[in-house]
Amino acid sequence: MMSQVGEKISVKTPEGEYPIFLGKGLLDLDPLPALAAQVRASAVCAVITNPTILSHHATRVIDSLRAKNFQPCVIEIPDGEQYKTLDTVRKIYDQLLGAQLDRRSIIFALGGGVVGDVAGFAAATFLRGVPFVQLPTTLLAMVDSSVGGKVGVDHPRGKNLIGAFKQPLAVIADTDTLATLPIEEFRCGMAEAVKHGIVGDAELFERLEKSKNWRAGVEDWLPRAIRVKADVVGRDPVEQGDRAKLNLGHTFGHAIEKVSDYRVRHGEGVAIGLVCASRLAARRGLCDAALGLRIEHLLRSIGLPTRIPRELATDAIIAAMQTDKKRVNAQLRFILPRAIGDVVIVDDVAREDVIATIEGARS
């Protein structure tokens, strides 16, 4: 298929900028030779992926790389959040060394957020850093995780506790890959898109409310959802200020994910977290209850969960929040909505309010 770059979005970084290419047929990797020239890339390179994505999309990537005179080695990691660990990264290092990658070898992350975060962390640390290209294949990775340079792994005590900032050379998002994505994973990406609407683009939120055709019409709204993230991380690349707002829903969401042993997917945790954040905001008088109902209505119509499963104990969720990396001086940090397109960072939430919010959001 001919590649069609529907959109090219630039993301500013402290060192310069990198492009996000978004469109159909982009796994033919047409922009690669120019990108490789920027870093004088070696021929030997690595594609990090998992067996699920390998079966759908890896042949295409490997053929494209070979056609451009690269010598790719394929590194498979097991599929699932439970493998987003330092142990997986250690096994990746072994294979990178075995394949004789050098400091100019590019690592390609072909997959969703888990592959992107793990492969990015390997790229940030292997030989003190090698070039890295994100090839996101989930909606969530296109909307959110492939953009902004946060890479890392989970620790048994909590999510994303070990990590780095590693800006990619480019993000190449081929929307054709979404054709094989299961519906529940597509919905997870929608949760992050809704989040981006609440954080900084009321018109995006309204569009998502009006459309019911999110999947078939993905090319219409996806660039807008990515731009919210690209703009925020361009202004605040290493989270000194406003970037924290992108964590809307995540203080609750990460804890719910963790306590469920990751049976609740990241996007599902974010959806429930968005509802909790809007209820907590109403409790503190930052917005009225109607805002939360509006957010909840959109999430439900997408098919996302909006209630905390009964089996996840409140105490366990509160305990999991204590390892949240947004915590400062032992104070939990919440991002709370005042309106669609307007959120604030709040550091002084009383424990009783958090407990009441969790209890009020149960199924």
- CB count within 10 Å of CB 326 equals 18
111 binds, among ligand GLY, ligand NAD, none (CB under 5 to 8 A by kind): ligand NAD
324 binds, among ligand NAD, ligand GLY, none (CB under 5 to 8 A by kind): none
Q: How far apart are CA 347 and CA 328, in angstroms?
A: 8
Active-site residue 57, yes or no?
no
Determine the size of the site formed for ligand GLY (CB under 6 A): 6
Active-site residue 24, yes or no?
no
* Binding-site string for ligand NAD from residue 41 to residue 80, where x marks contact by CB under 6 A and - marks none: ---------x-xx--x----------------------x-
Tokens representing 58?
A: 């890896």
Select 242 or 353, whichever has its Cβ closest to ligand NAD.
242
Tokens representing 240?
A: 């000194």
Active-site residue 247, yes or no?
yes
Structural element, H or E, at residue 319? helix 314-321
The beta-strand segments (E) located in the chain are 4-12, 17-24, 44-49, 71-76, 107-111, 132-136, 150-155, 158-165, 170-174, 334-339, 342-346
Q: Should residue 111 be labelled a site residue for ligand GLY when binding is judged by CB under 6 A?
A: no
Q: How far apart are CA 154 and CA 111, in angstroms?
A: 17
231-290: which residues touch ligand GLY (CB under 6 A)? 243, 246-247
Active-site residue 196, yes or no?
no
Q: How far apart are CA 162 and CA 212, in angstroms?
A: 38
Catalytic annotation, pick one of 159, 187, 195, 243: 243
Q: What is the DSSP letter of 247?
A: G
Nearest distance in Å: CB 147, ligand GLY: 7
Residues that bind ligand NAD (CB under 6 A): 50, 52-53, 56, 79, 81, 84, 111-115, 117, 137-138, 140-141, 144-145, 148, 150, 159-160, 177, 180-181, 185, 188, 266-267
Residues that bind ligand GLY (CB under 6 A): 144, 148, 150, 243, 246-247
